[in-house]
Structure 1
Amino acid sequence: MFFSATITSRSSTSIISRLSQIKAQHASKPHVLLFALSSPTPSDSSKSELSALVDTLLTFSSSSESVGCLSAPLIPGSISCSIALFDPQNVVTFRSTIAGKEKVQVGRWHALRKRYDTIQHGENMELDTMEKALSNGGPVDWDNLWKAKTKETRGLLPRGLTSYLNSPTRANGESSVLYFSDLSPEGLSSSIPEAFPRANQLGLLASSTPFVTGRPVTLFHNQEIYDTGAVGVAFENSKPMGFALPRDVEPLGEALSVTDSEGNLINTLNSSNPTQLLLSCIRAAGIDAASYETEFLLGVLPRTGSLSYQLHAITAGDPSRGTLSLNAQTMAPVVGSRVQFYHRIRKPETSSLLSPGSSMSFTVVSPEHSSSERSELVLENRFVAASDNGFVLGRTGETPWSCIVPGCVSQIK
């Protein structure tokens, strides 16, 4: 990456003017363009403003490739536009159509897996075989079934991405895969580490745009517009991807060990009822658990140390059965993981994202995040993109996971 900038302004004309200046300085040099653009605040002119912004980005250079999406604003009431320019010799663009998970049917997955999780089945089990086993009360090995599905999708990785990561000059090095996705990224996110264990990945789930463009999400690859799948870039990068907790989260209680988990559910912590453990921590801290403004979270800790490297939203808890449910797109930490409860008041800030520095950052914003007096800001050497749908992070050796907690940030230095 030889250039990046993040621009926020209440005026689409101002952003277009900035983009024209950048184009005059850099467009003549061969490049690949990466961009994230938030739509203008709804008004009589917002559709024409958005069209002008998109046209400016897609015609940045007629001979260059581009990858982008519609994202969320970094400053409420303003338009955010982040761009990055890569040397085409060191990067490849791709478009993925690998299907992700269907929407979870609450309770069904948990009940069926509990019943059949101890018996072995073949990895190439077809769907009709699985359904027959379920209808007859037969056994299903869910772990092998999911692994088989991953192996099926691995071959569907975009050819350009596969060729790039398999090339002799990169086979033994570390690469980063950066992408914008629809709301079901699991097919792509799980296939990348299976095929390329040394590749890091960071994916932004594009903001929902049904009332903006008429599409569930809006993705761009060259001159094409998509509303499913993913678009992205891959490039050489030996630097690790970082993850930062929101500044306003506070730990609750002591570190605990996961002793039973499945899917997105935690069944026991320290061999005890996890919901009751959370309630005990809440009572001890004097927190009003009934307040809408209070948010409870679960962090995953390294084997040594106290700073969480993952943070998940707790979406439900059953005091009698004890099960804690995490956000549906996340697999619960595996047995043996060290975890920590957190809480906070729902007042996420974005100011830390907009401080000087040199990085590419994806963050989660809340649809209700508070207003700001700042009307225009330009950050050189920063690519900062936000979404209210979250991001996916997968570092070397880590199972990819999704984060939907407002204020969390993942970045490439």
Structure 2
Amino acid sequence: MAVHMSTIVSRKTVDILSHLSQLRPTLASHPLLYTISVSQHTDSTDLSQLVASLKSLSGSSIGCLSAPIPSARPSWQQYTAVSVASFDAKYATTFRSTIAGRKAAQVGRWHAMHQKEKQQDTQDYSQDIDWESALSRSYESDAVLPELRDLSDKDTDSILYLSDNAPEGLNSVLSRFSSASKLGLIATSTPFVTGRPYTLFYNDSIHSDGAVGICLSSGPCSSAWSEYPGLEAITRPMIVTNAEGNLVNALDNANPSRLLLHAIQNHPAVAASAEHISKDLQLYLGTLKQVGVSHQLDQLFYIMSGDPSRGSIALDTDTAPPEGSMVQFFLLPPTTKPDVLNEVLNQGTPQRSLAFASTSLDDLNAALPDVPDAEGPAGTMILHDTFVAASENGCIVSRATGGKSERPWKCSLPGSLMGLRWGV
């Protein structure tokens, strides 16, 4: 299935171009997935050379511009990183999507909508609405992806895609591949690099929106994996007892915002006001699944807002965990510094591994010292059998377990990794 994977991090564009040229005989006849992270040292000429070289590697390719890969070593984040993954042409099909998604989320949109409805009609019908079905229908359409029309649902193993920040329509169409794992990277924002909101590549074309992807059928199956470095649980597990839309209204029949505020105020590494939750804190609600006799973090949702007086917390998702779900509050301590490169290097798996990582806007905007790197030839590092790309916009995840894929959700935890592996 996976013919080749590698990630090269270097301050010298010539070193990256040399690496790519060596791969050309191997990759020429196979579909290619690639990303380019632009650093403070990557000028327009370097970028043009890299794009031209990558496009020439294969007649069928998809790619995007990505963010610097988070690292504890400032020198590595100053470098350009190029990741490439090539897949056997017998099992791989590339596609381009222009299917529309949703507009920017509105915090507490469901609460506001229901307040308006209650003013117009005193009878409450909310208990009779299947919110998950209602949300699913909102993206349904007759849209199809011509490239994937003839592919068998049951024979599709996984789908990888690179998208703008509205992939909901695409996710709805891809849901027919109900037993396939789907992993999407929301491309980095590039208005100050290329003049485009996002920069996506499909063969010889460049696009500012939509998505590009690759569908992998039959062949060796992939296995999903995830890492959440630095994340800390700050409460005991609880049960969702009331949820609506993107709001969680009750946990163990108690006020979720007050439970969260109490947990923060008792956390030794965090100072919080008694009246509100600081907007600077990175707080999450995670769902738990039972593995043997213990529970394991399954999905993770960023908490956009919370109001102790009303009780509800708003999550960065279309649909909050349903009632009956076991959940737990999590915090990424302010002192945590994402180190994705080190996490990848320490895995030491004998398999080919692809990972989409999340970074933070603060890390991208931080002024990095110009630190020389004495390790490796000319400061160049190559990760063999590994594809890793990052974005400050996070990634979309829908893993398959037991022949059924989960509802897509967004992972935006800085330093987190969501990935797939294939046997070498």
TM-score by length of 1: 0.85
SS at match of 1:80: strand
Question: Is residue 91–residue 233 contact of structure 1 (8 Å, CA) maintained in 2?
Answer: yes
Say yes or no: does 1:199 pair with 2:199: no
| Amino acid corresponding to residue 385 of structure 1 in structure 2 | A
Q: Aligned-pair distance for 1:73?
A: 1.4
SS at match of 1:285: coil
Say yes or no: does 1:379 pair with 2:383: yes
Residues 89 and 352 of structure 1, relative CA distance in 2, 3 Å threshold: same
Distance 2:207 2:124 in 1: 41
Structure-1 residue corresponding to 2:72: none
Question: Is residue 157–residue 188 contact of structure 1 (8 Å, CA) maintained in 2?
Answer: no
Residues 354 and 72 of structure 1, relative CA distance in 2, 3 Å threshold: farther
| Amino acid corresponding to residue 380 of structure 1 in structure 2 | H
- CA deviations on 1:334-382 (whole Å, 9 max, x unpaired) are 1111111112323222210234433011110123338685642101111
| Amino acid corresponding to residue 206 of structure 2 in structure 1 | I
What pairs up with 1:174-189 in 2 under 5 angstroms? 174-189=156-171
Q: Aligned-pair distance for 1:8?
A: 0.6
- CA deviations on 1:288-334 (whole Å, 9 max, x unpaired) are 3437774322211014532201122222211111111222x453211
Question: Is residue 303–residue 338 contact of structure 1 (8 Å, CA) maintained in 2?
Answer: no
Structure-1 residue corresponding to 2:354: 360
- CA deviations on 1:39-87 (whole Å, 9 max, x unpaired) are 24167xx1111111111111224xx201101011114111110001112
Residues 411 and 52 of structure 1, relative CA distance in 2, 3 Å threshold: same
Structure-1 residue corresponding to 2:155: 173
Distance 2:172 2:124 in 1: 28
Distance 2:380 2:168 in 1: 36
Question: Is residue 110–residue 246 contact of structure 2 (8 Å, CA) maintained in 1?
Answer: no
Question: Is residue 38–residue 65 contact of structure 2 (8 Å, CA) maintained in 1?
Answer: yes
How many percent of aligned residue pairs carry the same amino acid? 37
Distance 2:406 2:236 in 1: 24
User: More relative contact order in 1 or in 2 (CA 8 Å, sep 6+)?
Assistant: 2
Question: Is residue 243–residue 310 contact of structure 1 (8 Å, CA) maintained in 2?
Answer: no
Structure-2 residue corresponding to 1:399: 407
Q: Aligned-pair distance for 1:138?
A: 11
Say yes or no: does 1:408 pair with 2:409: no
Say yes or no: does 1:149 pair with 2:138: yes
Distance 1:381 1:286 in 2: 40
| Amino acid corresponding to residue 56 of structure 1 in structure 2 | S
SS at match of 1:258: strand
Say yes or no: does 1:324 pair with 2:313: yes
- CA deviations on 1:169-196 (whole Å, 9 max, x unpaired) are xx43351000000001111113322x12
Say yes or no: does 1:344 pair with 2:332: yes
| Amino acid corresponding to residue 362 of structure 2 in structure 1 | E
| Amino acid corresponding to residue 38 of structure 2 in structure 1 | S
- CA deviations on 1:250-272 (whole Å, 9 max, x unpaired) are 11121011111222221111111
| Amino acid corresponding to residue 353 of structure 2 in structure 1 | S
SS at match of 1:308: strand
Residues 353 and 179 of structure 1, relative CA distance in 2, 3 Å threshold: same
Q: Aligned-pair distance for 1:105?
A: 3.4
Structure-2 residue corresponding to 1:334: 322
SS at match of 2:362: coil
Structure-2 residue corresponding to 1:245: 228
Structure-1 residue corresponding to 2:150: 163
How many residue pairs get aligned? The number is: 382
Say yes or no: does 1:299 pair with 2:286: yes
Distance 2:311 2:41 in 1: 44
What pairs up with 1:213-224 in 2 under 5 angstroms? 213-224=194-205
Question: Is residue 203–residue 393 contact of structure 1 (8 Å, CA) maintained in 2?
Answer: yes
Structure-2 residue corresponding to 1:77: 78
Residues 27 and 398 of structure 1, relative CA distance in 2, 3 Å threshold: closer
| Structure 1: unaligned runs, 5 residues or longer | 118-133
More displaced stretch, 64-73 vs 293-302: 293-302
Residues 245 and 330 of structure 1, relative CA distance in 2, 3 Å threshold: farther
Residues 354 and 105 of structure 1, relative CA distance in 2, 3 Å threshold: same
Residues 57 and 96 of structure 1, relative CA distance in 2, 3 Å threshold: same
SS at match of 2:140: helix
Distance 1:288 1:412 in 2: 34
Question: Is residue 82–residue 384 contact of structure 1 (8 Å, CA) maintained in 2?
Answer: yes
Q: Aligned-pair distance for 1:18?
A: 1.1
Residues 142 and 300 of structure 1, relative CA distance in 2, 3 Å threshold: closer
SS at match of 1:254: coil
Q: Aligned-pair distance for 1:240?
A: 3.0
SS at match of 1:26: helix
Q: Aligned-pair distance for 1:33?
A: 1.2
Question: Is residue 68–residue 77 contact of structure 2 (8 Å, CA) maintained in 1?
Answer: yes
Distance 2:87 2:222 in 1: 17
Structure-2 residue corresponding to 1:228: 209
Question: Is residue 3–residue 87 contact of structure 2 (8 Å, CA) maintained in 1?
Answer: yes
Structure-1 residue corresponding to 2:241: 259
Distance 2:27 2:354 in 1: 20
| Amino acid corresponding to residue 357 of structure 2 in structure 1 | T
Residues 107 and 285 of structure 1, relative CA distance in 2, 3 Å threshold: closer
Residues 109 and 251 of structure 1, relative CA distance in 2, 3 Å threshold: closer
Distance 2:318 2:106 in 1: 15
Distance 2:85 2:416 in 1: 22
Q: Aligned-pair distance for 1:398?
A: 0.9
- CA deviations on 1:200-252 (whole Å, 9 max, x unpaired) are 10000000000001110000111011111110001135333222222x11111
Say yes or no: does 1:33 pair with 2:28: no
- CA deviations on 1:1-57 (whole Å, 9 max, x unpaired) are 11111001112121111111222x4145x21111011124167xx111111111111
Question: Is residue 190–residue 400 contact of structure 1 (8 Å, CA) maintained in 2?
Answer: no
